[in-house]
């Protein structure tokens, strides 16, 4: 169950590939007959996290320390594009992701994040690139903060204004449904 927050400070992992669609986040065959909440986290980014023999891919960032504990993703443009696969958000949430910072998201994925307790944060591409470079330079030692009240994203002393879509800023960040609570309200 997502924990409400107005400020989150956590390890962030940069995944800067453009156009990561919901099929890359979780393959459809992992959802068919298995879309039970609580069982999907192990399949998040499966094609990137695992080698063909099923072992972990040591080159994938979420398989390395300290990124295994990342609660924030910093992503390339158009993250979550593709089909309206709500299971993609569920798998990220079960992986421990609470916020995603990027310059843009697939529209349906963006809405599914709000509805399921993950905060999608939109900032300019230059800021995303700078944030990813800072995380890589510190090897994940620098923590990233997202402050909803101040409407900022912060890393190593640099602040960036968070842009909200008007419809999103007037409603809870995650509607209570099926027993889940809000991430935060604005």
3-state secondary structure 139-163: CCCCCEEEECCCCEEEECCEEEECE
pLDDT in tens, 69-121: 999 999 999 999 988 789 999 999 999 999 999 999 999 999 999 899 899 99
For position 35, which CATH number holds?
Answer: 3.20.19.10
pLDDT band at residue 17 using 50, 70 and 90 as cut-offs? very high
At residue 120, the pLDDT reads 92
- The pLDDT of 129-150, averaged and rounded, is 85
Asked if 20 and 30 count as a contact pair (C-beta separation under 8 A), the reply is no
Does residue 186 lie within any of the structural domains? no
Distance CA 183, CA 2 (A): 7
Distance CA 103, CA 101 (A): 7
In this prediction the pTM is: 0.83
Range of the domain at 62: 7-169
Does residue 85 lie within any of the structural domains? yes
Domains in the chain, number = 1
Does residue 185 lie within any of the structural domains? no
Does residue 121 lie within any of the structural domains? yes
């Amino acid at each position: 169950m997502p924990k409400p927050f107005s400020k989150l400070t956590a390890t962030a992992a940069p995944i800067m590939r453009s156009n990561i669609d919901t099929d890359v986040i979780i393959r459809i065959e992992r959802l068919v007959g298995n879309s039970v909440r609580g069982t999907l986290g192990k399949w998040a980014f499966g094609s990137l996290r695992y080698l063909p023999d099923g072992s972990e891919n040591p080159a994938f960032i979420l398989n390395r320390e300290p990124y295994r504990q990342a609660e924030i993703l910093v992503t390339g443009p158009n993250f979550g594009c593709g089909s309206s696969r709500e299971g993609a958000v569920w798998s990220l949430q079960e992986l421990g992701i609470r916020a995603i910072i990027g310059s843009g998201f697939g529209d349906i994925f963006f809405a599914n994040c709000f509805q399921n307790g993950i905060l999608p944060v939109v900032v300019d591409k230059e800021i995303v690139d700078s944030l990813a470079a800072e995380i890589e330079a510190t090897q994940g030692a620098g923590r990233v903060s997202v402050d909803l009240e101040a409407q900022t994203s912060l890393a190593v002393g640099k602040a960036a204004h968070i842009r909200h879509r008007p419809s999103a800023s007037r409603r809870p960040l995650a509607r209570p449904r099926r027993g889940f609570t809000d991430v935060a309200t604005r």
